[in-house]
Structure 1
């Protein structure tokens, strides 16, 4: 792709570019592609993404007391049932309508969602390698992780996430009986670790053995 063609894509928000990349991977790998999530293939992953963005709003509309909205919601749900794999991927790729209020919430709701699930799909394939994000995109992800880290990591150990662009302290949920732990990695790897993707997250944990044991038994993710 030449620089003129890639310039508009480069100006897209990271959340939009990651949606496009995830859609490309889903279409390329197919509905039976494995993921690192137990019991989930590409089909379950795409169904999850469509459900949270499109099925839930359509189902709410289908119960509306307003007849036009109710009929539109029912028609949308019926249409989803008839879609092929490629049609569902195209629907996900299109995202929220231009005038949908949810479009404004896309960066907050979906930046992390798309990145984590894209890696769930990518890292289940033989020969996968970590992606290198642009510095600006890493900062976007780091900001989102900083906002949600205390909800994601529920441990009785004081933590510090250490990335190339900064550190993030995550206090213990209760009085810390053990010494602190430092978790080192790139922004993406720390994000995956915070979401409990231990099988594929490339991080390094530094701390005393007792603290590491407590952390290993703690809850992470949503």
Structure 2
């Protein structure tokens, strides 16, 4: 998948839906054990089926009905599932409000989970609006997704964000575009194109710590 310039009037959801439609349900993702169908199911349940995840854990008929409903959702034709995702969670949905607050963080990350599992992928050149989304998402996610005993400074063309640790063993600087840094703080080391600079103690702390939600 080649690098492309983003049109500012195309939303992340619309482009993500186009990628899903083009690649199909069996396309791989970078998430272990998940293909595109699993990823889309996760997104649709998140936006309008969280009760099924809870229901499946219940004993007896309630649990069975929830499991049957979830199985029926998986049998819906791919194009219809993608169309449902493209429509979004609705104006009053708490998920929609959360995505607006976090700068579409989950959509940005999961879109790359799919894109970067394909042969020949290259980083996207995001529109100004989506660069803003990724930078805002980074500021919100990094404090809760990084558990590292090091002072970490994330550096992008937008500037820098420093995140301290009470028991820091060293300091670390991570350089990259906002989306690449967002992928890095979420633990996508294999595909995040970043540059790390830090002392040995900080690098060891990075290996011993964790990132991701």
TM-score over 0.5 for the pair: yes
2:188 aligned to 197, 200, 205, which one? 197
* TM-score, scaled relative to structure 1: 0.79
Residue 28 (structure 2) aligns with: 34
Map residues 170-185 of structure 1 onto 2, 5 A cutoff. Answer: 170-172=163-165, 174-178=166-170, 180-185=171-176
CA distance in 2, matches of 1:81, 1:118: 20
> For the structure 1 residues 78 and 43, does the alpha-carbon distance in structure 2 shift closer, same or farther, using more than 3 Å as the test?
closer
CA distance in 2, matches of 1:37, 1:105: 23
Regions of 4+ moved over 4 Å? 57-61, 76-79, 98-102
> For the structure 1 residues 149 and 99, does the alpha-carbon distance in structure 2 shift closer, same or farther, using more than 3 Å as the test?
closer
Residue 65 (structure 1) aligns with: none
Residue 69 (structure 1) aligns with: none
2:131 aligned to 131, 138, 162, which one? 138
CA distance in 1, matches of 2:158, 2:35: 34
Does the alignment pair 1:169 with 2:162? Answer: yes
The structure number with the bigger radius of gyration is: 1
C-alpha contact (below 8 Å) 1:154/1:219 kept by paired residues: yes
* TM-score, scaled relative to structure 2: 0.82
Structure 1 residue 143, shift from structure 2 partner: 1.4
Residue 20 (structure 1) aligns with: 14
> For the structure 1 residues 146 and 91, does the alpha-carbon distance in structure 2 shift closer, same or farther, using more than 3 Å as the test?
same
C-alpha contact (below 8 Å) 1:150/1:171 kept by paired residues: no
- Where in structure 1 are there 5+ consecutive unaligned residues? 1-8, 62-72
> For the structure 1 residues 210 and 102, does the alpha-carbon distance in structure 2 shift closer, same or farther, using more than 3 Å as the test?
closer
C-alpha contact (below 8 Å) 2:169/2:201 kept by paired residues: no
| Structure with the higher fraction of residues in helix conformation | 1
2:40 aligned to 46, 49, 64, which one? 46
- Where in structure 2 are there 5+ consecutive unaligned residues? 1-6, 56-65
CA distance in 1, matches of 2:120, 2:158: 27
Greater relative contact order (CA < 8 Å, ≥ 6 in sequence): 2
